Amino acid sequence: MKKKEKMLEDKPKKEYWITPPELYRELDQEFHFDFDPCPYPYQGFDGTEVEWGKSTYCNPPFRKSDGKNDKGPTAFIRKAIEENKKGKDVVVIINTNAFINMLIEAGAEMRSMGRVKWQDGKTGEPWKSPSCTTLFVLKGNKPPTSINQALAEERERVVGLIEEIRGMREESNQALDYLQDRIEKDLLSSQAKPLPDK
The domain tally of the chain equals: 3
Establish how many alpha carbons lie within 13 A of residue 61's alpha carbon, considering only the half-sphere containing its beta carbon: 20
The answer on 68 and 101 residing in a single domain is no
Considering the domain architecture, whether residues 83 and 27 belong to the same structural domain is answered as yes
Q: Which domain holds residue 36?
A: 11-95
pLDDT band at 87 (very low <50, low <70, confident <90, very high): very high
Q: For residues 25 and 75, state if they share a domain.
A: yes
Confidence of residue 1 (pLDDT cuts 50, 70, 90): low
CB atoms inside a 10 Å sphere around CB 31: 14
Answer yes or no: do 38 and 103 share one domain: no
The answer to whether residue 5 sits within a structural domain is no
Max CA separation in the chain (angstroms): 131
Q: Does residue 107 sit in the same domain as residue 163?
A: no
Query: Looking at residues 169-182, what average pLDDT do you find?
Result: 78
What phi and psi values does residue 55 have, to the nearest 5 degrees?
-140, 105
Look at strands 55-58 and 109-115 and give their pairing.
Answer: unpaired
Query: Does residue 177 sit within a domain?
Result: yes
> Residue 192 region, left (φ>0) first, then alpha (ψ -120 to 50), else beta?
alpha
> What does the pLDDT read at residue 14?
61
Q: Per-residue pLDDT tens for 10-68?
A: 555 566 788 999 999 999 999 999 999 999 888 889 999 999 999 999 999 887 777 77
Phi/psi for 91 (5° steps) reads -110, 115
Reported as a single tens digit per residue, the pLDDT across 89-148 is 999 999 889 999 999 999 999 999 999 999 989 999 998 888 889 999 999 876 666 777
Burial class (CB in 10 A: 0-12, 13-18, 19+), 126: exposed
- Same domain for 101 and 72: no
The answer to whether the beta carbons of residues 76 and 82 sit under 8 Å apart is no
Collapsed DSSP state (helix, strand, coil) of residue 95: coil
Decide if pLDDT at 195 tops 70. Answer: no
| pLDDT score recorded for residue 2 | 56
123 in a structural domain: no
Residue 162 lies in a domain: yes
